[in-house]
């Protein structure tokens, strides 16, 4: 399981991948805020079962050709690159 800390001090642990009914993948990450609040789970749309890339943030660059950005849905960097290239 990959883990890293964001610039804001939140620790993110990449979690399990779950197959969606419509054929896509979600990765369930555990986020632990730096202010000692309870950890919580965030689902991100992933490019596939082995997608272990960081979450993509629209603050890094909104791209209207990415369906995930357009919908405002949480997604990984790999899912973003896949959506833009297709």
pLDDT (average), residues 56-75:
87
Phi, psi torsion values for 70, nearest 5 degrees: -60, -40
Residue 1 pLDDT greater than 70, yes or no = no
CB 60, CB 83: distance < 8 Å: no
Q: What's the whole-model pTM score?
A: 0.81
Q: Measured between alpha carbons, how far is residue 15 from residues 44, 55, 57, 69, 80 in Å?
A: 10, 12, 18, 22, 19
List, for residues 35-63, the tens digit of each pLDDT value. 878 889 999 999 999 999 988 976 677 89
Q: Can you give the pLDDT at residue 10?
A: 82
For the chain, percent of residues with pLDDT exceeding 90: 52
CA dihedral 78, 81, 82, 83 (to 10 degrees): 120
């Amino acid at each position: 399981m990959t883990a890293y800390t964001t610039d804001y001090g939140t620790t993110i642990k990449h979690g399990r991948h779950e197959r969606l009914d419509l054929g896509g993948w979600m990765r369930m990450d555990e986020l632990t805020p730096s202010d000692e609040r309870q950890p919580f789970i965030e689902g991100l749309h992933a490019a596939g079962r082995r997608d272990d890339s960081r979450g993509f943030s629209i603050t890094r660059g909104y791209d209207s050709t990415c369906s995930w950005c357009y919908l405002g849905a949480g997604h990984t960097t790999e899912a973003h690159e896949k959506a833009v290239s297709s």
